[in-house]
Amino acid sequence: MNVRRSAAVLAAVAVIGAATPAAADTSPSPSPSQALPSALYGDSDPQYDGVWRQSLALLAQHTVGVEPSKAAVDWLTGQQCADGSFAPYRADTAAACDAKTMVDTNQTAAAVQALAALGGHDDVTEKAVGWLKSAQNKDGGWGYVAGGASDTNSTSVVIGALAAAGEKPAEVKKDGKSPYDALLRLALPCEGDGAGAFAFQPDKKGELVANADATAAGVIGSLGAGLVVEPGKDGTEEAACEKADGPEQAAANGAAYLTGALAENGHLTSALAGAEDQPDYGNTADAVVALAAQGAGEQADKSLSWLEKNAADWAAQSGPAAYAQLIFAAHATGADPRDFGGTDLVKQLGATGPAAEKTLVAKSDERKDEESESGFGVWWIIGICLVAGIGIGFLISGRTKRQQP
């Protein structure tokens, strides 16, 4: 989900004939004659990721106690097509969506997660969920576009949307198959290369090839979680890969694979041709969220520390979705996104879009106040963490670097 544009997604989208999304940090700026809406986050061309980055920005702000701009929320809801789906960007929302409008599951699922968290948009989210259900494949999963072959990233981000909207993903079935059935078919066995990982899709030969980006998404999706994962879950730091007879074991296997991939230097490397030796900041952030969701806190903390030291320039170049991904990673591990290696991610994200309505309460400040008022402060926090660990919070994976699943 690397700001969500992985090489795998780009290739898949090209195969099915959809427009190829541009990377967040390389997308062209709009021409002077095509000024961007003032309510939109980011200043790069939104053709391939407008709704995605807007959704992540709004969800990240909500997660840290910031009430987003009403205009920004209205812009997002106004992007919805009559059938409930979302395209990456509709410059003229007065014109009805038609067969040429490139709607997709990832933009739609991200919008559902953001609007469900904000509340008060049930009419929008219900229509969007209805469209997502209509686009479900017979294997139980979703492709990037309706009718496209199921992939791990798209299936996982839709699972997050279903859960956010109050649905039970396991009960959303097509021909008797649920999204978890689709994910299990995309999970690699415990023998051979990439043991325990998830593939994005089967390759041309029908074989599964490990993909770190898809694995991060697959872990989160298998746990029924979304882009936001609450901190405090306790779990096994590292476990041997075992045959996945259900989504929970598939998630554990995927987390073990990610732990191994991150162990050497703390980050994942890019899958883009010619950049294999370059760090992949977005996918590393997604892996942190996945490991935190599974309870593999030790490696999640180590990789978060690497991001704190190295990801500032990447986020500044990539824009709002990147800041949101880092906020999600910090939140999942209980770190302070307002002091992320000396960078205030919340402030930086806010600077990419319209001014927020208000800041409700910084959670870190709230904790400090409560600790100072009560001798039971530390134990209160532990208790809250234990309660938070009972539930689950999607990630899909960022998607315009991959922003597509």
Q: Is the pLDDT of residue 3 over 50?
A: no
pLDDT score for 221? 98
For residue 75, the surrounding DSSP H or E stretch is helix 70-78
Please tell me which residue, 97 or 363, carries the higher pLDDT value. Answer: 97
Average confidence (pLDDT) over 187-214: 96
Average confidence (pLDDT) over 293-302: 96
| Residue the block writes with tokens 């920004």 | 72
Q: How confident is the model at residue 275 (pLDDT cuts 50, 70, 90)?
A: confident
Average confidence (pLDDT) over 77-101: 97
Average confidence (pLDDT) over 190-215: 96
Average confidence (pLDDT) over 307-332: 98
Each residue's pLDDT tens digit, 121-150? 999 999 999 999 999 999 999 999 999 999
For residue 215, the surrounding DSSP H or E stretch is helix 212-222
Half-sphere exposure of 184 (CA within 13 A, CB side): 16
Dihedral over alpha carbons 2, 227, 66, 376 (to 10 degrees): -120
Domains and CATH numbers, the chain: 7-22+43-388 (1.50.10.20)
pLDDT score for 404? 38
Predicted model pTM:
0.84
Question: ∠ CA(39), CA(44), CA(50), 5° rounding?
Answer: 55
Calpha distance 192→10 (Å, rounded): 26
Lowest pLDDT segment from 27-31, 278-282, 346-350:
27-31
pLDDT score for 361? 56
Instruction: Please give the span between the terminal C-alpha atoms of the chain, in angstroms, as a whole number.
Output: 6
**φ, ψ for residue 145, nearest 5 deg:** -120, 155
Kindly state the tokens that stand for 128: 């969007």
**Please, what's the largest Cα pairwise distance for the chain?**
63
Q: Is the pLDDT of residue 68 over 60?
A: yes
pLDDT score for 359? 74
Q: Is the pLDDT of residue 305 over 80?
A: yes
Q: Is the pLDDT of residue 31 over 60?
A: no
pLDDT score for 400? 39
pLDDT score for 367? 43
Where are the strands (E) in 220-334, listed by range? Answer: 268-269, 279-280
**Is residue 348 a contact partner of residue 316, using CB atoms and an 8 Å limit?**
yes
Calpha distance 288→290 (Å, rounded): 5
For residue 348, the surrounding DSSP H or E stretch is helix 345-350
Kindly state the tokens that stand for 248: 């929970």
Kindly state the tokens that stand for 33: 């004659």
Calpha distance 53→48 (Å, rounded): 10
Q: Is the pLDDT of residue 18 over 80?
A: no
Q: How confident is the model at residue 153 (pLDDT cuts 50, 70, 90)?
A: very high
Of 284, 319, 322, the C-alpha closest to 304 is 284
Each residue's pLDDT tens digit, 348-369? 999 999 999 877 655 444 444 4
Q: Is the pLDDT of residue 388 over 80?
A: no
**φ, ψ for residue 5, nearest 5 deg:** -140, 90
Question: Above pLDDT 70, what percent of the chain?
Answer: 79
Q: How confident is the model at residue 259 (pLDDT cuts 50, 70, 90)?
A: very high
Q: Average model confidence (pLDDT) for the chain?
A: 85
Of 390, 56, 64, the C-alpha closest to 223 is 390
Average confidence (pLDDT) over 380-397: 37
Lowest pLDDT segment from 6-10, 17-21, 110-114:
17-21
Q: Is the pLDDT of residue 272 over 50?
A: yes
